[in-house]
Structure 1
């Protein structure tokens, strides 16, 4: 009897679980007794730690993604969304990009849809806000920053200029600090090509509701990072909340008000909406409750890992694993092996990994790290950041392409061209049609 394994999500957990299954079930996949399907809106996996470098132009966006169909030749890839999981009936409702939704049956389901940005009902957030979780958002943000430098250079209105050159980042965790540091570094580097814009004209504001930045690297390294950001002229506002940004008018909880064209929202994540449309058990934070084996509690045939799963941290009793790539990649390997054991009626292994620490990039040749208690800053931390993440990029093909990008960057200046028209490719054609009508 054919067993169908359905993986919801093609990110870290989805890709690495499928890779593990391809190896562990080689014979079963060959004889057709097992089949694997991945459902994801995209046909690629994004290596998110490289989003800041892609946004800053240090890395080609195509080199930080892994094409699922090429990497997983024995897996069926369906592009679309899962809108409902009915585990009692062992079916999911699949909505493709075009056409009607349909139900797909499975024997084993892997919930690996990850997370989305956690937003708040702040006036105007959807007007100027942009997230920082996808390649599209990273490249759109890069184009926006460079486009606004063009706007500022081309206007005589001081208010328009000031508004264009003001950038706000909300959230001082990994995503916020790394995005801010890389983009600030890129903008500063770009000003050399503008006659009327100096680095000091570009204002960057970091807004954080707590009293620290980069809590993942510890208090000491967090304080050092804060000092470095402020030395670079970045306006860091701790214990401050964004109250409103309606019409581009930013209002902070400390009473500060100013205008800005761009706001990057990185203030946390929440589980993918698909979990709330399932009959799987959830915790108070909306995550799927799992055992240390990554099997869903009291739910045979269901597994979950990554950002949407509440996985017990065996190295820290009473706590759960943090939603980061370090855990996701390692969980996926255990998860893949456990599914093989489940299909063969064997005992499942428990996931246990002591958090080794964190590394963060702060722009070209700058970084901060706290790994196994060893604290590094500046160039050594930046080098460790690149080395670690290079080792985690899937496939040799992608590793080589990343190294080539970095090597070229040593000898050639990065590109500082805004290609914002890529986001609206039909505007020129529409304008030409309108001209003919007149």
Structure 2
């Protein structure tokens, strides 16, 4: 049953029932884009099954990378790459090279990448990371996480803007009253 409201003491369900709770944990799934869902090809957990060169079998001239594609990684015995920015950033140049190879009538190459590590922010000024097999947590991995993503932001102007916004947020966390929430189309359809 979907929640109708959440407050500091619990959750109110759409049917009016109440669940009292001192701690609320929210997990939000992701849904495949309707375009991907509509394609008449095989999918793996909502992502397009692609060949090792990132071409979509059954759709000539169609390629897919990133979080919409289950890209096999030759460096992990063909297991699908996780849908993370680290992999997508390496899939892009490889895909461009493969498309150029096809234009020159050359053989394409299978995607292969060994990740350097894993990082994720877990709260205000804190992160967890595994870098070259070493687990770390706290403020230092948070700075590393921010620095890594700052490097990949296009244009100097955007980097400066994001850097300033991040530093502002480090000292002044966002005011939840100013967050803009919109209902998804599915929420609107559920109420009909």
State the TM-score, normalized to the length of structure 1.
0.36
Partners in 2 of 1:272 and 1:330 — Cα distance? 22
Which of 109, 119, 130 is matched with 1:370 structurally?
Answer: 130
Aligned to 1:436: none
Aligned to 1:287: 47
Q: Which has the larger radius of gyration?
A: 1
Match status 1:359 vs 2:119: yes
Partners in 2 of 1:355 and 1:245 — Cα distance? 42
Count of aligned positions: 181
Which of 17, 20, 32 is matched with 1:258 structurally?
Answer: 20
Shift of 1:295: 0.9
Aligned to 1:346: 106
Where structure 2 has 5 or more consecutive residues not aligned to the other structure, the ranges are 183-192
Structure 1 or 2: more helix by fraction: 1
After TM superposition, the structure 1 = structure 2 runs for residues 120-139 of structure 1, keeping only pairs within 5 Å, are: 123-125=1-3, 127-128=4-5
Which of 419, 422, 431 is matched with 2:178 structurally?
Answer: 419
Aligned to 1:54: none
Aligned to 1:330: 90
Structure 1 SS opposite 2:59: coil
Partners in 2 of 1:300 and 1:337 — Cα distance? 17
Aligned to 2:79: 319
8 Å CA contact retained: 1:293, 1:351: yes
8 Å CA contact retained: 2:10, 2:20: no
Structure ranking higher on relative contact order (CA contacts 8 Å, 6+ apart)? 1
Which of 31, 35, 45 is matched with 1:274 structurally?
Answer: 35
Over 3 Å counting, the alpha-carbon distance change for 1:405 and 1:325 in structure 2 is: same
Aligned to 2:14: 246
8 Å CA contact retained: 2:102, 2:108: yes
RMSD: 3.1
Moved over 6 A (4+): none
8 Å CA contact retained: 1:290, 1:304: yes
